[in-house]
Amino acid sequence: MNNEEFRRYGHQVVDWMADYLENIRDYPVLPAMQPGDLVDRLPVAAPEGGESMDAILEDFEQSIVPALTHWNHPRFLAYFAVSGSPPGILAEMLIATLNVNGMLWKSCPAVTELEQVTLSWLRQWMGLRPEFFGIIYDTASISSMHAIAAAREMADPEARTRGANRGLTLYTSEHSHSSIEKGAITLGVGQENVRQIPVDGNFRMRVDVLRERMEADRLAGLKPFCVVATVGTTSTSSIDPVPAIADVATEFGAWLHVDAAYGGAAAVVPELQGILAGAERAHSLVVNPHKWLFTPIDLSVFYTTRPEILRRAFSLVPEYLKTGEDTRAVNYMDYGVQLGRRFRALKLWFVMRNLGHEGVCRIIRSHIGYAQRLADLIRSHPDFEVSAPTPFSLVCFRYRGSDDDNRALLDRVNASGKAFLSHTVLNGQFVLRLAIGNIATQWEDLEEVWDLVRQTAKALATEPHSSASGN
Ligand code: PLP
């Protein structure tokens, strides 16, 4: 492709992108397809000779787009909804164009230094102490794995050389994200040594049980080395009592990691900063701008007050990566598993500058407001109930029928293409999850979805096989 063609197709692609964002409500949120449909449509082998961009773009429209789940759709309300906002999208294009690798300061100073600046800005927005050193990883799963590795380094520095878990035990709530257990599996802590602490009636970790379990393990000769608290759990967005958990972690000399992958974003709103109470005592915290800070996936921010321990856990510098600036510069490769690093900070910088603190706060406040309003509507409807408190922008609710009725309701709503909701199980019951997080979501979108949910439940109740119909 010569430069003239690049320019022409570049304009064409940007036009497509702008049209897509403008008309996104016209797309079904979920594709109507079966597993294997796209594979069957595409050639079994790559082309021998190069193909024209016209042909590639045509196939993109005809084959790829119909197989998309539209995460950028304002009525994508499943999992934790996300947004690739326009400034972030433009930054992604520049990141690919520059194609720099920030493994070392020297390999691209801008990657390292913009990461330092943007993470300092974000830290200030979130009201975290200046001692929190920041680094960008791809996902919260990887951020939390690094937290567990640093915790192990603090508890058992020989683990790095000798390997294998020597009596270390990790504590997290039964509602924490599966990435915590996966991190423990990856690092050889072992699932058997992950204690899933039960939650209270509001899905918050029970600190009395946490303390009992840690004490029992200590008496049994084990070493409680890491406690992971969650601010915004995946199923219900509940907030663990971090101040009390910090007391217990301190008592046992354990590393405290706060998983605020989703909920942490709300702390940029000044009146909501209380959600991070206790996090000032954490050794580390993760927040994902790719979840609720309008930054295209992927970008996860990891903060730690003990960067020297993280560095001790991971630094391994071969001769060919030594530079004259090593004593004066941050080389981010020293703080994690990966060597090569994308220029992710650029997209966060674009988003923070273009939206500004005010803009970000306004959107997050509106999402939380919509969630409260919707929860009130659901609560006041005789056929529905709200299944968990709504501290952020996630509403968990269910139809007052059987689990099968709720499953059928979810399937039917999602099959309509008008919205995408997800589910969880709370206290043994199947529950629908509606997560608001897209930058373009308006109250009218949620009214439409609520209407769809009610109409669908009504229609299901009149069908003969439904238990809601009394049959
Ligand atoms: N932590 C929490 C609380 C989450 O809800 C999620 C995902 O939803 C994760 C961690 C994992 O995030 P990621 O996909 O960035 O690994």
Split at pLDDT 50, 70, 90, the class of 465 is low
**Domain-embedded: residue 154:** yes
Counted domains in the chain: 2
Q: Is the CB of 141 under 6 A from ligand 1?
A: yes
Q: Which two tokens stand for residue 212?
A: 């009992």
Asked if residue 436 and residue 406 are part of one domain, the reply reads yes
Asked if residue 301 and residue 215 are part of one domain, the reply reads yes
Q: Is the CB of 261 under 6 A from ligand 1?
A: yes
From 309, 343, 377, the end of a domain falls on 343
Asked if residue 430 and residue 302 are part of one domain, the reply reads no
Q: Select from 341, 342, 242, 350 the least CA-distant residue to 293.
A: 350
Q: Is the CB of 143 under 6 A from ligand 1?
A: no
Asked if residue 385 and residue 238 are part of one domain, the reply reads no
**Domain-embedded: residue 367:** yes
**Domain-embedded: residue 460:** yes
| Residue-wise pLDDT tens digits, 321-331 | 999 998 999 99
Asked if residue 214 and residue 329 are part of one domain, the reply reads yes
**Domain-embedded: residue 113:** yes
Q: Which of 237, 262, 298, 299 to mutate to test the pocket of ligand 1 (most atoms within 8 A of CB)?
A: 262
| Residue-wise pLDDT tens digits, 32-57 | 999 999 999 999 999 999 999 999 99
CA 177 to centroid of ligand 1, rounded, Å: 6
Q: Is the pLDDT of residue 430 over 90?
A: yes
| Residue-wise pLDDT tens digits, 343-379 | 999 999 999 999 999 999 999 999 999 999 999 999 9
**Domain-embedded: residue 6:** yes
**pTM listed for this prediction:** 0.96
Alpha-carbon distance 391 to 158, whole Å? 42
Asked if residue 289 and residue 370 are part of one domain, the reply reads no
Which has more pLDDT, 471 or 210? 210
- pLDDT at residue 68, rounded to an integer: 97
**Which domain does 426 fall in, by range?**
1-30+69-84+356-471
Q: Is the CB of 172 under 6 A from ligand 1?
A: no
Asked if residue 210 and residue 337 are part of one domain, the reply reads yes
Q: Which two tokens stand for residue 153?
A: 């380094």
CA 381 to centroid of ligand 1, rounded, Å: 32
Split at pLDDT 50, 70, 90, the class of 463 is confident
Q: Is the CB of 179 under 6 A from ligand 1?
A: yes
Query: Across residues 10-17, what is the average pLDDT?
Result: 98
Asked if residue 194 and residue 132 are part of one domain, the reply reads yes
From 288, 312, 343, the end of a domain falls on 343
Helix (H, G, I), strand (E, B) or coil at 285: strand
Q: Considering the chain, what percentage of its residues have pLDDT values greater than 70?
A: 99
The string of DSSP codes covering 310-365 is HHHHH----GGG--TTTTTS--GGGGSS-S----THHHHHHHHHHHHHHHHHHHHH
Q: What is the CATH number of the domain that holds 391?
A: 3.90.1150.170
Q: Select from 155, 454, 163 the least CA-distant residue to 283.
A: 155
CA 140 to centroid of ligand 1, rounded, Å: 5
- pLDDT at residue 469, rounded to an integer: 43
| Residue-wise pLDDT tens digits, 247-267 | 999 999 999 999 999 999 999
Range name among 23-27, 307-311, 428-432, 465-469 with the lowest pLDDT average: 465-469
Q: Is the CB of 80 under 6 A from ligand 1?
A: yes
DSSP tag of 299? -
- pLDDT at residue 254, rounded to an integer: 98
Phi (first) and psi of residue 119, to 5 degrees: -75, -25
